[in-house]
Amino acid sequence: MQIPEVENILVIRPGAMGDVLVATPVLSNLKSAFPKSRIAFLVGKKYADVLKANPYIDELIEFDRESVGRFWGIGRLRRELAFLASIRARRFDLALDLLGNLRTAILCAASGAKERVGYTYRIRKFFYNRKVAARNPQYVVDFNLDSLRMLGVPIEDKDIHLPADESDLVFAEEWLAKSGADRDRLLIGLFPGGGWSSKRWPEEHFARLGDILSSRLNASVLVMGGPQEKSSVKEIVSSMSSMPFEVESLPLSRFAGLISKLHLFISNDSGPRYLAVAAGVPSIGLFGPTEALNANPTDSIHSAITYGGVCLACNKLTCADQTCMKRISPEAVFEESCRLLKEQGRIR
């Protein structure tokens, strides 16, 4: 179903970081199909950094949930209505809701766009006039691109876009030099974070893996995290017998710059893994309660490891025993690391 030429496009994907990154192929394909169009992206303020240098975005509409308020009242209602009015005033021709919760569905409808695209989720589907069947499981980039396929937009690009800022690359080089990391050795990053507690591989497994990588491959291991991973990073570092490098609480763009210098990135199912994907850095994702087919990139330099239990991909936010994650052994992850590094010519 081909739509006519459009001039003003709204893409809605408030967060989180990984979800915003995997939405970027939608932007490049839209700009290719409608080169004269103006594209706005509605994103949560805390995730806007990953889009600020994106060449396919003409306007970032940053939404700050804290400024609206957590609890309903007259003040919040006024702020909500004012925000919706500001969206409608931009006179969008086409709006795409890539999340599909009630709030984003309302935003899509409130945009006033003639063409409103969203997925067929329960009552939310009635906010759209162009409905996309939610096909699962499939890689999330293709899931997002289904919204364009339904419109007849050709898919020419599936790459995640995170343009590198030269200052971030310079920072990464300086950080590695100051830390004493030997650039002739393999640089391997370990990221223990994950939005759900059930998605996190045990810290002791990360520590064991770090020691194996260090002793058997002579790798420089970077244990990486943000403010939420601070305690996990410190626990892993203190548990290792080798001497890893500790990376924590860097600004997002600096963190991305450092990841771009790695030879391999190993993490739970989390947003920072897509920083590695965007940078073309080989990666391994560890999956238990989430579906690997949805989150694992299809390029051969990326791999997924799961333990085949009956509760796999349960989507539970918390779990009492985390069997699916605990039974992924450090040795299995090491073997997969070797396979990827051999394919890239990093080891024999």
The pLDDT assigned to 183 comes to: 86
Give Cα 194 distance to the centre of its chain: 11
pLDDT band for position 249 (50/70/90)?
confident
User: In the chain, which segments carry CATH 3.40.50.2000?
Assistant: 8-151, 166-343
The amino acid sitting at 305 is: I
Q: Choose among 139, 60, 42, 136: nearest CA to 98.
A: 42
DSSP-derived pairing of the beta strands 220-225 and 245-248 = parallel
The pLDDT assigned to 312 comes to: 78
pLDDT tens profile 96-117: 999 999 999 999 999 999 999 9
pLDDT tens profile 174-194: 999 999 998 889 999 999 999
The pLDDT assigned to 63 comes to: 87
Residues forming beta bridges with residue 187, ordered by sequence position:
220
Q: Is the pTM for the entire model greater than 0.85?
A: yes
- Contact between 121 and 143 under an 8 Å Cβ cutoff? The reply is no
Q: How far is CA 133 from CA 59, 94, 292, in A?
A: 28, 18, 20
pLDDT band for position 2 (50/70/90)?
low
pLDDT tens profile 285-334: 999 999 999 999 999 999 999 987 767 788 888 888 888 999 999 999 99
The pLDDT assigned to 167 comes to: 93
pLDDT tens profile 336-346: 999 999 999 99
The pLDDT assigned to 10 comes to: 98
Q: How crowded is the C-beta side of 133, counted as CA atoms within 13 Å?
A: 4
The pLDDT assigned to 70 comes to: 54
Instruction: Please state which CATH number belongs to domain 166-343.
Output: 3.40.50.2000
Domain range 8-151, CATH architecture = 3-Layer(aba) Sandwich (3.40)
Helix axes 203-217, 330-343, angle to 10 degrees: 40
